[in-house]
């Protein structure tokens, strides 16, 4: 198994195996392996968007509690995705898009 910087940046593509396995349990590791660092950045864009939107809501606003609930739901979704590919399925993605 050789290492090159193109693989780190762009990934190995969808047809490669990792030690004879076609899937990896850790979703972020899978994204780096398949799509590289650029794919990981693309996966994290909704998280960064929600952080920027959340900090634009004023604390004294009547919508602050609702924004907090959706924001911390997104944070929980990304933490769960570190151990289980939850954001890759339709329920996780739908929650993420609705929360944004």
User: What does DSSP assign to residue 18?
Assistant: B
Percent of residues, the chain, with pLDDT higher than 70: 81
Q: What does residue 92 show for φ and ψ, rounded to 5 degrees?
A: -65, -45
For 43-61, write each residue's pLDDT tens digit. Answer: 899 999 999 999 999 999 9
7-40: pLDDT as tens digits? 777 777 665 666 666 666 667 877 887 788 888 8
Rounded Cα–Cα distance for residues 10 and 6 (Å): 6
Please tell me the predicted confidence (pLDDT) of residue 93: 80
Q: What pLDDT score was predicted for residue 4?
A: 72
């Amino acid at each position: 198994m050789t290492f090159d910087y193109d693989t780190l940046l762009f990934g190995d593509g969808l047809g490669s195996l990792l030690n004879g396995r076609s899937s990896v349990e850790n979703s972020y590791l899978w994204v780096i392996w398949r799509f590289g660092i650029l794919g990981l950045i693309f996966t994290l864009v909704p998280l960064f968007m929600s952080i920027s939107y959340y900090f634009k809501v004023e604390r004294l606003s009547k919508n602050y509690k609702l924004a907090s609930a959706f924001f911390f739901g997104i944070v929980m979704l990304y933490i769960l995705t570190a151990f289980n590919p939850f954001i890759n399925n339709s329920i996780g993605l739908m929650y993420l898009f609705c929360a944004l």
